[in-house]
Chains A and B, each alone.
Chain A
Amino acid sequence: MSLIDSLPRVRALRLPRPDGLIQWILPLAIILVWQAACVGGLLSSRVLPAPSDVALAGWKLLLSGELIRNIGVSFWRASVGFAIGGGIGFSFGLANGLSQLSNKLTDTTLQMVRNIPHLALIPLVILWFGIDESAKLFLVALGVFFPIYLNTLHGIRTVDPQLIEMGRIYGMSNSELFRRVIFPGALPSIFVGVRFALGIMWLTLIVAETIAASSGLGYMAMQAREFMLIDVVVLSILIYALLGKLADSAARVLERLTLSWHPAFQKH
Chain B
Amino acid sequence: MQEALRFLQPDAEAVDSAGYIEQARQARRGSAVLPRGLALTIRGLRKSFGNNEVLRGIDLHVPAGQFVAVVGRSGCGKSTLLRLIAGLDTFDAGSISFGEETRAEDVRVMFQEPRLLPWARVLSNVEVGLGRDRGSAGAGARAETALAEVGLDDKRDHWPAVLSGGQKQRVALARALVSHPRVLAFDEPLGALDALTRISMQRLLERVWHDQAFTAILVTHDVAEAVALADRVLVIEDGRIAHDIDVHLLRPRRRGAAELAALEGQILQTLLEGADDTSDL
Contact = CB atoms under 8 A, between A and B. Distances in A.
Contacts, number: 49
A171 interface: yes
Given A261-B161, A266-B162, A184 B117 contact: yes
Given A162-B111, A169-B109, A266 B159 contact: yes
Main secondary structure, interface of A, reads: helix
A266 B158 CA distance: 11
A265 to B, nearest CB: 10
Contacts of A162: 111, 113, 115
Contacts of A165: 88, 115
B120 A166 contact: no
Given A263-B161, A266-B161, A170 B119 contact: no
B115 A261 contact: no
A174 B24 CA distance: 40
A162 B117 CA distance: 10
Interface string A52-72: 000000000000000000000
A228 interface: no
A261 to B, nearest CB: 4
Contacts of B129: 170
B118 interface: yes
Contact of B132 (A171, A187, A266): A171
Interface string B107-123: 01101010101111100
Contact of B115 (A166, A171, A187): A166
A95 to B, nearest CB: 23
Nearest to B128: A170
B132 A261 contact: no
A160 to B, nearest CB: 8
A31 to B, nearest CB: 41
A243 interface: no
Contacts of A259: 119
Contacts of B111: 162, 166
B192 interface: no
B104 interface: yes
B35 interface: no
A259 B198 CA distance: 32
Interface in B181-238: none
A171 B131 contact: yes
A129 to B, nearest CB: 42
Most buried by A among B104, B109, B128: B128
Interface string A32-52: 000000000000000000000
Nearest to A181: B117
Contacts of A245: none
A171 B104 contact: yes
5 closest Cβ pairs, A-B complex: A184-B119, A171-B131, A166-B115, A261-B119, A263-B161
24 contacts: A162-B113, A162-B115, A165-B88, A165-B115, A166-B111, A167-B128, A169-B86, A169-B108, A169-B109, A170-B175, A171-B104, A171-B132, A180-B120, A180-B128, A181-B117, A184-B120, A185-B119, A259-B119, A261-B119, A261-B120, A261-B161, A262-B119, A262-B161, A263-B161
Interface of B: 86, 88, 104-105, 108-109, 111, 113, 115, 117-121, 128-129, 131-132, 159-162, 175
Given A180-B117, A266-B161, 13 more contacts: A169-B88, A169-B109, A170-B129, A170-B175, A172-B128, A180-B128, A184-B117, A260-B159, A261-B120, A261-B121, A261-B159, A262-B161, A266-B159
Interface of A: 162-163, 165-167, 169-172, 180-181, 184-185, 187, 259-263, 266
